[in-house]
Amino acid sequence: MDREEELRDSVDSGSDYVFHTGFRNDDGELEETSHSSMDTTRLQNAINEALKLREAGNQAFRAGDYKLSTQIYGDASYDIVHLKGLRHLGAIPSDDWKFVQTITEMQFKVYSNEAASWLKYESYIPEDGEVSRFQKALARTGRALEALEDHPTAWKPGDGEMAKLLYRRALACEGLDDYDAAFVEVEKAHQLAPKDVMICSLQSKIDKVRQ
């Protein structure tokens, strides 16, 4: 596996989450809300199922089954968006910041992984009305960034994770022959990971095309 494949094949697993039916008071103590234990269990199970889906997608990706991994990542992202919607509907305490942090991280990583999967899914043939795999990959990276914008202080990816996402955006733009946009994305990735060989390689490749 070369370095470019290594970056695209390095999918993120994320962390576990424990749901709390309460909030922190001024003394930092957890106070219970009116949510029942059944609600708590149901929400915890829903989060766990979304995490299991993401890991199943990771396993399919590592096995080289990119058709399956894109499908599973899509299912996982749908479930995560549904969980996020429950908070807006009041089914989850609005001040459960741990939940917000976890959902933000989950969205970012699932969308980033799904983008990587679309980039590798070379046998994909769009049906009538469907867009190319590069357009799908670019859209997924955009959604990952939107997840961060929704709650800017909730959770932030490390430089390596963000560089990986920007690199994937650059690859998607390159696949769409949008070399100016690819240049912008790979430059941002290079700022975060200036010594990364494959980012430098893509940067050089795009520079030559734009000359």
* 170-195 tens-digit pLDDT: 999 999 999 999 999 999 999 999 99
pLDDT attached to residue 21 = 42
Query: Is 85 contained in some domain?
Result: yes
Asked whether the predicted pLDDT for residue 48 surpasses 80, the reply is: yes
Provide the 10 A C-beta neighbour count for residue 191: 13
Query: Is 198 contained in some domain?
Result: no
Q: How far apart are CA 204 and CA 32, in angstroms?
A: 56
Query: Is 68 contained in some domain?
Result: yes
Mind listing the pLDDT tens digit for each residue in 131-152? 999 999 999 999 999 999 988 8
Name the pLDDT band for 38 (thresholds 50, 70, 90): very low
Asked whether the predicted pLDDT for residue 14 surpasses 90, the reply is: no
Mean residue pLDDT of the chain comes to 83
Phi, psi values for residue 30, rounded to 5°: -80, 120
Domain, as residue range, for 40: 3-126
Asked whether the predicted pLDDT for residue 36 surpasses 50, the reply is: no
At 13, the amino acid letter reads S
Name the pLDDT band for 100 (thresholds 50, 70, 90): confident
Asked whether the predicted pLDDT for residue 91 surpasses 90, the reply is: no
Query: Bigger pLDDT: 207 or 13?
Result: 207
- Angle (CA) 200 66 5, round 5°: 20
Asked whether the predicted pLDDT for residue 28 surpasses 50, the reply is: no
Provide the 10 A C-beta neighbour count for residue 62: 12
Query: Is 173 contained in some domain?
Result: no
Domain count, the chain: 1
At 125, the amino acid letter reads I
Q: What percent of the chain has pLDDT over 90?
A: 59
pLDDT attached to residue 27 = 55
pLDDT attached to residue 202 = 97
Asked whether the predicted pLDDT for residue 17 surpasses 70, the reply is: no
Query: Is 8 contained in some domain?
Result: yes
Q: How far apart are CA 112 and CA 46, in angstroms?
A: 21
**Looking up tokens 């929704």, which residue turns up?**
150
pLDDT attached to residue 122 = 96
Residue 61 · residue 119 · CB < 8 Å:
no
| SS3 per residue for 93-146 | CCCCHHHHHHHHHHHHHHHHHHHHHHHHCCCCCCCCCCCCHHHHHHHHHHHHHH
Q: How far apart are CA 125 and CA 143, in angstroms?
A: 23
Query: Is 196 contained in some domain?
Result: no
Query: Is 179 contained in some domain?
Result: no
pTM of the model: 0.81
Asked whether the predicted pLDDT for residue 130 surpasses 50, the reply is: yes
Mind listing the pLDDT tens digit for each residue in 51-80? 999 999 999 999 999 999 999 999 999 988
Query: Is 93 contained in some domain?
Result: yes
List of residues 6+ apart from 67 with CB closer than 8 A: 121, 123, 124
Q: How far apart are CA 54 and CA 153, in angstroms?
A: 24
Q: How far is CA 23 from the centre of its chain?
A: 27
41, 56, 184, 203, 206 from 191: Cα distances, Å: 43, 32, 11, 11, 16
